A = this chain, B = another copy of it.
Amino acid sequence: MGRQPVTYIPIGIIHSGHRLRDKTPIQPIFAQEFCGRAEIHAEFADGLRDIEAFSHIYLVFHIHQADPARLIVKPFLQDKEHGVFATRAPCRPNPIGLSIVELIKREGNALHFRGCDILDGTPLLDIKPYTKRFDCVATTHNGWHDQVDEKTARQRGKRADQGEAP
C-alpha cells in the first residue's frame, strides 16, 4: 500500500541564467541578486489569474539534474552527515524542488521573479501562493541549521566562489 507511482506533466519551464549546477545558489535567500522567468504553457495559463496580487509564491519543480538518490548526505551548508529528509539536498528519492520566490511581474504567460536558485530549463510542476497566514510559521528548533552561523551559511550557500568567478 502507498507504493503506486504517480506521474505529473510539467505546467511550464523555468528560464534563468544558471547553467552550471555547482555554481547555482542553493536557496532563494542566497540568490536575491538573480532573477528568473517561469514560462507557463499556454494550456495552463488561465490558472495564473490573480497571482500578481501575491508578493511571494512557491515554485514546485522537478530537479532534473539531481544526482541519484542517497539517504545519508552532507548538506551544502555543513560537513556533517544527516538523513536526506533532514536536508534540502537535491539527491532525494523524489527530486521535487521547492523555492519561495518574490514575484516581480506577470507578462502574459510568464512570471518574472527574484531569488532564483533554479537551473535554466527546469520543468515546473506547480505554483502556489505563499501567504503569511499559512506559510510563515514560528519554529522553535531548526535542527542542524542552528549550528551554522549566518556568515558561514551565506558563504557556502551562494556558491559563487566554486572554481572560476561567474
Contact B137 A142 (CB under 8 A): no
Q: Is the interface of A mostly helix, strand, loop or mixed?
A: mixed
Q: Which residues of B contact A44 (CB under 8 A)?
A: 71, 93
- Inter-chain contact A7/B7, CB cutoff 8 Å: yes
Interface presence of A17 (CB below 8 A): no
Question: Could you show 9 A-B contacts with beta carbons less than 8 Å apart?
Answer: A1-B121, A3-B10, A7-B7, A8-B96, A29-B133, A47-B93, A51-B85, A100-B137, A133-B145
- Set of chain B residues within 8 Å of A10, measured between Cβ atoms: 2-6
Chain A, residues 38-62, CB within 8 Å of chain B (1/0): the string is 0111001011111101111110101
The residue that A50 contacts in the complex, of B2, B40, B86, B134, with Cβ under 8 A, is B86
Q: Are A141 and B85 in contact (CB under 8 A)?
A: no
Within A94-131, which residues are at the interface with B (CB < 8 Å)? Answer: 94, 96, 98, 100, 121, 123-131
Instruction: Type the 1/0 row for A6-37, where 1 means its CB is closer than 8 Å to any CB of B.
Output: 11111111000000000000011100000000
Cβ of A135 under 8 Å from chain B? yes
The 8 Å CB contact of A55, one of B49, B87, B121, B141, is: B141
Q: List 10 additional contacts besides A5-B9, A8-B96, A53-B86; criterion CB under 8 Å.
A: A5-B8, A6-B7, A11-B93, A49-B83, A51-B86, A51-B143, A86-B129, A130-B139, A132-B145, A135-B136
